Structure 1
């Protein structure tokens, strides 16, 4: 009897599994909040140089026209100011053409003035991440993503050594602490450090949530559970828009999306460790205790009482072995190397384009809260469409078609003029929906191309959301 058959005897998708999936899915709502948080905490408000002080201006009512040059749209330039006030511009017949008058300009030596509006309190206004320092805004997000990249490898290895539940509990705590630390960061360097540590923890939450789900859920229920988890990430995008609208100050917003992880940390102590991992780690007594608890919750106490440590060892012996480890199996044969490289490229291209769109909401010139809602809402029909496409035309056509449509929409936005904001937004929304469909196809495709025993390792290639892979089956494309 295999371990999957053992779970079926103990209730299959019973009360324990339903409760477990719900408890693991709720934190997934906050994944989007952290991944896309800088759309709001690092928003760039309208700004211009702080005018040079004028000796005879005690009231501070000198017109901006004489201190700040205008850009091509007759708005104050963001990063330059006049070296000397241009009083002649106040004359009735004067011109505001900066290049014509030839007045000398200089950088903003005295700082910037930020306009009140949607982004009145962000890390940009806090640490003046504009003009020469504007790239630091992207650096902060890149550091967070680097944390996710490092955490994906680090916590994957540690979870095999210390267990899924222990690492998940730790990552909940780390994310809560570093998120709160980010909200209280006194300097930009401390902010980036806390975001990096939060990225590490986010990867740990993603990986270990998926592992615990997969190792307790029957094979036939994994597709449904994966869909539920995927839509939790989508719903989290609506949560982010609502919380950001209610808390426009970046510190309070950062704190609001971090504090729930302390609650997740507290109830994670009630999680049952993966029995499969415990048996493999030489702890069949603990695995037996956990399985009997599961049987009791599922109303199969008698079946649980019949279990023995010897039966558990026998069930694990029937699992297909992987000499050299699961990761080595991904590149052991030419066929597996081809599959691994191809799947990795799909994950990379989809993730790269997805975040390129999702992290540039302000660039479309539409209300950012509305943009966040629309970008989240498009994932719902997109994922449903991907399921239908997979059923009708197969995995390869659905995967390739979604990526091709996303590429067309992104390339189209390159040639669409900036003035056509709604058209640009429409292309971006269709492109993001196509990428969400690509994620859905890729996860199903990955789960079927790799053997079941290593499919969860291959599935950890993505960062967009957490779902549970399918078992190995024969696809419509004959793979």
Structure 2
């Protein structure tokens, strides 16, 4: 899954190199009024010739041209064709489809369409991942993603390109979120923070590698093709992945879960208890589930199916703790995505080299794993998450106060905000996974992911709206949002050294806590029974 996380940023942030702002000049028709200046003056949309012009500097020569009427008046006309500066990029979506002036907003649409697809995909795949399994959703989404990415390189018009971006976006959460959940559900408690953050290190590496790839390949169609090639390898890696035994236990597929446990036991060289003990334990977990999966033919009526679907979607608001977790995570995912994608795509707003900016943005995320792991294992998830959002808020709100002559300092502050925001966003995935119970984990995290796609969708428009004219607006907006994201975390509880809750009843405290012990409680139980807590060969890696 780390390899797949390495691939995703090459398409998720493609707009930074495939649809960037490109300097352009209006290609004037033969009858245009030719002058040597680029700024003219107009009065009521027209002016007299240069001998009688009025001082109203509101004419943009890159988007309009002037035509001299028979009576000597100069009439403004919108430009319909442009010449683009190819010194940085040989070919881009911006230049090929002329996304400038009145079509400028389509550059942001190119990026946002991917995010909009993620918004739709996050809401529609959660149900299927919890109902039909993690592995199946990963297989379908990754293979579809790879095929669509390849086809995108040959699409002839902008409308079909937007459609492909949307479809790529719908497959993104099905692969990323479902894959993240599967990995963490088969990871032992003491390694969850390491594995959970390491997955996103590969995303950061993929971001930096994509920047280098874009530097070498300046044609957007070839860049799209080369970015799609790594997806072919992952199709073969699907054979290594197995289904989550936690999910199998909760939904009642105990024999399949037992098979996965035995496979894990062989890999890890451990001895499992007798089969009947494992099956009894999984049966107890299934009985605690809030939503019962109907599998017999008598329950296949449309009424029952619709009722079960509605139950699955409303369960996130049915109990107090689940409702609190859902609402807080929706806010944090929304802000985290705005920071993550907005600051990654912010090179044009700061007027800096896009290749260097994106490469540094990716490199800044790589140390987050080694830095954060010992910190969150000591201070916990909640405190570190609040701290990261606080740092991001402070530096981003400070950045507009920096003089334009100190651009290096301005970029440094933005990179610090990006680093803290990325740390927070990555940690939010781990924290939310530990808060939601297994039976609704995919639904809960994908609802939160849906919220993040709203943030990711509006972030390009924020950057595009201010461009390089008012860059401080986006910085203030992102800084204020960071402060809100940190404050809403205060009502939540810490999940450090706690078992993953399997059912809503676990989370709400309606089950025996000794069925879901912490590390310390488990060691006390083993000590009282005369067992050696370090003797891992005698302990079942239980789904409880």
Give the TM bin, normalised by the shorter chain.
Answer: 0.7 to 0.9
| Match for residue 334 of structure 2 among 328, 334, 348 | 348
Distance change >3 Å, CA 470–CA 172, structure 1 → 2: farther
Which residue pairs with 1:78 in the alignment?
62
1:269 Cα offset (Å): 3.2
**Distance in 2 between the 1:470 and 1:102 partners?**
74
SS at match of 1:81: strand
| Match for residue 107 of structure 1 among 78, 81, 84 | 78
Listed one character per residue, the Cα deviations across residues 173-192 of structure 1 (whole Å, up to 9, x for unaligned) are 11111111221111111001
Which residue pairs with 1:248 in the alignment?
218
SS at match of 1:318: helix
| Match for residue 199 of structure 2 among 202, 222, 229 | 229
Which residue pairs with 1:51 in the alignment?
28
1:371 Cα offset (Å): 0.5
**Distance in 1 between the 2:415 and 2:40 partners?**
33
Unaligned runs of 5+ in 2: 42-55, 292-310, 454-494, 500-517, 520-544
For 1:48-447, list aligned pairs within 5 A. 48-53=25-30, 65-66=35-36, 69=39, 77-84=61-68, 103-109=74-80, 111-300=81-270, 303=271, 308=275, 310-319=276-285, 321-324=288-291, 328=314, 330-382=316-368, 384-387=370-373, 390=376, 395-414=381-400, 416=402, 420-447=406-433
**Distance in 2 between the 1:211 and 1:397 partners?**
23
Using structure 2 for the length normalisation, give the TM-score.
0.68
**Distance in 2 between the 1:451 and 1:416 partners?**
45
Preserved CA contact (<8 Å) 1:399 1:438: yes
**Distance in 1 between the 2:335 and 2:372 partners?**
17
SS at match of 1:118: coil
Which residue pairs with 1:472 in the alignment?
498
Preserved CA contact (<8 Å) 1:416 1:424: yes
1:163 Cα offset (Å): 2.3
SS at match of 2:394: helix
**Distance in 1 between the 2:496 and 2:128 partners?**
24
1:315 Cα offset (Å): 2.4
Listed one character per residue, the Cα deviations across residues 45-93 of structure 1 (whole Å, up to 9, x for unaligned) are 11011022269xxxxxx9x8548547999x98321223259xxxxxxxx
Distance change >3 Å, CA 413–CA 148, structure 1 → 2: same
**Distance in 1 between the 2:29 and 2:200 partners?**
53
Unaligned runs of 5+ in 1: 1-23, 56-61, 86-100
**Distance in 1 between the 2:36 and 2:29 partners?**
10
| Match for residue 4 of structure 2 among 27, 46, 49 | 27
Preserved CA contact (<8 Å) 2:388 2:424: yes
1:294 Cα offset (Å): 3.5
**Distance in 1 between the 2:332 and 2:115 partners?**
18
Preserved CA contact (<8 Å) 2:184 2:196: no
Equivalences, count: 420
**Distance in 2 between the 1:253 and 1:40 partners?**
9
**Distance in 2 between the 1:286 and 1:336 partners?**
29
| Stretch deviating more after TM superposition (190-199 or 217-226) | 217-226
Preserved CA contact (<8 Å) 2:129 2:442: no
**Distance in 1 between the 2:403 and 2:96 partners?**
32
**Distance in 2 between the 1:47 and 1:187 partners?**
21
1:331 Cα offset (Å): 2.7
SS at match of 2:238: helix
Preserved CA contact (<8 Å) 2:24 2:83: yes
Which residue pairs with 1:16 in the alignment?
none
**Distance in 2 between the 1:386 and 1:295 partners?**
30
Preserved CA contact (<8 Å) 2:252 2:283: no
Using structure 1 for the length normalisation, give the TM-score.
0.77
**Distance in 1 between the 2:370 and 2:258 partners?**
39
